[in-house]
Structure formats: structure tokens, C-alpha cells
Amino acid sequence: MKLFYRQVGETGMPLIILHGVFGSSDNWLTISKTIAEGGFRLFLLDQRNHGRSPHSDEHDYEVLAADLHEFITDHQLEKPILLGHSMGGKAVMQFAMDYPGQFSKLVVVDIGPQFYPVHHTDILRGFKAIDLASLTSRNDADRIMSQYEPDPAVRQFLLKNLYRDENGSFNWRLNLRAIEREIHGIGEELRHIRTISEPTLVIRGADSGYIREQDIDLIRRIFLDCTLETVEGAGHWVQAEKPKEFVEVLFRFLGVPAGAGDSR
């Protein structure tokens, strides 16, 4: 599948970023400019069924990893650094399992390789409660979604998926039908488990429950050269809630000299 992408930076080591479920490359645009200052050429991908990438009835980590492999091959990227948040983190971990030796370093943000029970039911109900045919404004969509998601910041993030098509009608960039059908699989554990020797950074939010203390042993058994960093005061969206601290942790792992990206 040919994925939509945004490029930030023209030179430097290639670094590919994969967003989480309900997200898109747009979520990473602001912070990517700071990361690029560290000497990287960034590729922000919209994963299938998200953003401006094509829709498909298939949505599991093996096909997400295959999409990433196709992108790397098409763009002739030599062992890029792979960074993924949440669903994107699972996707880059699955890529590491399925395509050994085709990346240099792995950065996984607030997700582990284990199974996660479905916990997006209310959000999906909120999406479905919005009748696009009768919707007249984003404020109306926000009002409806507020009955299912109380956090205004999360609602703002979710409603970035709402856009007006060429006819001026509201529509979703998300393939909600496929995501709802495959939502259980989005929480599934990794397949084809093998040990990974490439340097791996796992970043978790101190206030997030996605990576618990009891999960760390499993992560270290799979990722043999693993650095675990906890960002204080951050929840699941570490890069959005604590961008300065996130970049500092990332740059330290990637060996970027102190002071790079200080324009942030």
C-alpha cells in the first residue's frame, strides 16, 4: 500500500515516525521540526485507514509492518531509525520481528509488546453518534463527542479526523468501519516473537498505565539492548504533553549533541 507521508528536513539520517490509533502524521508536525534540527530527515507516515492514506478492510500489525517495509523500499532508505507511538509503536516492533536487519534503531513510545484489552469503545461510540449528513459545524461534533470523551484536548485530537470534502460535506478521514471491526486486533500481542539486538528506546509516561513495572521484564527479554525512560508528568501522549522532555530523551538516545534543537 502506498502511504501518504510528510517529509521534514532534507538531509541527515532517515527517521520514520508512525502515529497511534485515531491519529495521523499531522499530530507530529510541530515536534518533528525540532527533531529535524538534531540532524535527521523525517518521514511522517499516515498509516492505512488513517489520515490521507488509502483505506483497506485489512488492519493488523503484520500488514502495518508490510506497509512500512514497502515505504522503506520505495524510498530506498538505508536502515532508518523507526519511531512509533501506541499503535505505531506496536507496528515498528512488529516490523523489527518480520524484517530483521532493515533498521538501525527502534524508538517505542508508551506501548509494550503484550496484549491490551479493548478500551476505545466509548470513542468509537462517539464517532458513530455524529451524523455526518446532518452535521453543520465542528462545534456540534465536539458537543456530541463530549458525551463520550470528557477531555477537551483528546476531543480536539479525535476531531482532527473530521474534514469537509469537495462537496462541502463533512466526512471522516478514518476508515471507522475497518477500525471498529479490527479494534480487538489493535490491542493484540506481537507475532513471530524473536529477540531484537538493535538499540531500542522505550519511552513511557509516568502517569500512563500502558507500560507497568511487570511489563518491563518482558520488554527486556525481547529487546536485548533496551533503554527505558520515564517522563514525569506525562500520560500516554508523552510527545504532546511533555515535548521538551521527550526530545531531550530522544536526542540523548540518538547521540545528538547537547544544545541541538534548542530553538524549541
Does the structure show a pLDDT above 80 at 24? yes
- Give the C-alpha separation, 254 to 27, whole Å: 22
Q: Which of 154, 179, 203, 171 is nearest to 17 (CA)?
A: 203
Residue-wise pLDDT for 53-69, tens only, equals 999 999 999 999 999 99
Instruction: List CB contacts of 42: < 8 A, sequence separation 6 or more.
Output: 7, 8, 9, 14, 15, 16, 17, 32, 35, 36
Q: How confident is the model at residue 79 (pLDDT cuts 50, 70, 90)?
A: very high
Q: Which positions are catalytic?
A: 86, 236
Task: At 204, give phi and psi (nearest 5°).
Answer: -125, 155
Q: How confident is the model at residue 86 (pLDDT cuts 50, 70, 90)?
A: very high
- Give the C-alpha separation, 51 to 22, whole Å: 9
Question: Which pLDDT value is given to residue 117?
Answer: 93
How many angstroms from the chain centroid is the CA of residue 185? Answer: 16
Whether residue 18 contacts residue 25, with contact meaning beta carbons closer than 8 Å, is answered with no
Select 5-114+189-254's CATH number: 3.40.50.880, 3.40.50.1820, 3.40.50.2300, 3.90.180.10.
3.40.50.1820
Give the SS3 label for residue 258: coil
195 is written with which cell numbers?
A: 529477540
Counting residues of the chain whose pLDDT is more than 90, the rounded percentage is 96
Question: Which pLDDT value is given to residue 93?
Answer: 98
Question: Which pLDDT value is given to residue 157?
Answer: 93
Instruction: List CB contacts of 36: < 8 A, sequence separation 6 or more.
Output: 8, 9, 12, 42
Instruction: List CB contacts of 229: < 8 A, sequence separation 6 or more.
Output: 201, 202, 203, 204, 249, 253
Does the structure show a pLDDT above 90 at 87? yes
Question: Which pLDDT value is given to residue 261?
Answer: 60
Does the structure show a pLDDT above 50 at 263? yes
Question: Which pLDDT value is given to residue 259?
Answer: 72
Does the structure show a pLDDT above 90 at 111? yes
Start and end residues for every CATH 3.40.50.1820 domain found in the chain: 5-114+189-254
Residue-wise pLDDT for 128-177, tens only, equals 999 999 999 999 999 999 999 999 989 999 999 999 999 999 999 999 99
Question: Which pLDDT value is given to residue 264?
Answer: 47
Question: Which pLDDT value is given to residue 262?
Answer: 64
Does the structure show a pLDDT above 60 at 113? yes
Q: What angle do CA 167, 49, 132 make, to 5 degrees?
A: 35
Question: Which pLDDT value is given to residue 258?
Answer: 76
- Give the C-alpha separation, 169 to 213, whole Å: 47
Q: Which of 253, 189, 200, 250 is nearest to 223 (CA)?
A: 200
